[in-house]
Amino acid sequence: MTALLSVQDLTYTIRKRQGWLGSEERFTLSPVSFEINAGETLAIIGDNGSGKSLLARLLVGAERPSGGHIFLNGQKLDPFNIKQRCLNIRMIFQHSNESLNPGLSVGRILEEPLKLNTQLDARARQEKVVNTLKLVGLLPDHQFFYRHMLSDGQRQRVGLARALVLDPQVIVADEPFAALDPSVRSQTVNLIMALQRELGLGFVFISHNLGIVRHISDRLLVMQKGLVVESGKTETVFNWPKSEYTEKLVMAHQSLINR
């Protein structure tokens, strides 16, 4: 059976020159390869600047990779064809506040991707929007709301709804829980897990919170300075970390729990 999403030797190089004669600063994402099956969750952890967000942006197509391929259900994704990709791979942004358009109502925000990517008529789109809102635990009335009227948790749900509205197969989330308080965070985590079970989604998520990572992910990818330090089943990595860096991360996490 082919994997739902399979990434092979994805690389990315960025050069930034400071001033005219300044030294050239380079950041390279070393070849990354992984696979996810339907219903599986892959977590990516690592410190700031390790290329986690970049990897997420490469997956959804916001950046073009320098090399390597992404396969969805065995079919190669064209880096220039956003339409093909956005029907199947959707992103949830870190700051739900900035990722929602302040000038459009929630209904319009959810309707735009449908307008652009499907042949549904106005009534079918409306129905889809209402159903998606219900799916993420909001009320149909919320489609008339604007960004500034929603709480942080509700905004995150709208972000999730926008990802789900096109019935994707993979969702990529860049630290979706970072800005939420603990109670709303656990609500959202449970919501996402329930949806994943229900819809059979593949889920790639980036987080700093090892507790949540251990709770929801099946596989783990540890990154440091653009390199994949370690990857494998979450429980294996947590119990028998191979690299020093992972060991430190796990130790820090354990010391917090057992205090």
Positions in the binding site for other proteins (CB under 8 A): 60-62, 82-83, 86, 90-91, 93, 95, 98-104, 112-113, 116-117, 139, 141, 144, 146, 148-149, 162
Task: DSSP letter for 23, please.
Answer: P
Number of Cα atoms under 13 Å in the Cβ half of residue 182: 1
DSSP per-residue letters across 53-98: HHHHHHHHTSS--SEEEEEETTEEPPTT-HHHHHTTEEEE-S-HHH
CB of 52 to other proteins, least distance (A): 16
Largest CA distance in the chain: 59
How far apart, in whole angstroms, are the C-alpha atoms of residue 194 and residue 243? 33
How far apart, in whole angstroms, are the C-alpha atoms of residue 164 and residue 88? 10
In this complex, which beta carbon is closest to other proteins, that of residue 202 or of residue 241? 202
How far apart, in whole angstroms, are the C-alpha atoms of residue 184 and residue 177? 9
Burial class (CB in 10 A: 0-12, 13-18, 19+), 97: middle
CB of 104 to other proteins, least distance (A): 6
CB of 23 to other proteins, least distance (A): 24
In this complex, which beta carbon is closest to other proteins, that of residue 68 or of residue 113? 113
CB of 12 to other proteins, least distance (A): 17
How far apart, in whole angstroms, are the C-alpha atoms of residue 28 and residue 58? 13
CB of 116 to other proteins, least distance (A): 5
What does the block give as tokens for 87?
């029907």
In this complex, which beta carbon is closest to other proteins, that of residue 25 or of residue 98? 98
Strand, coil or helix: 28: strand
CB of 237 to other proteins, least distance (A): 30
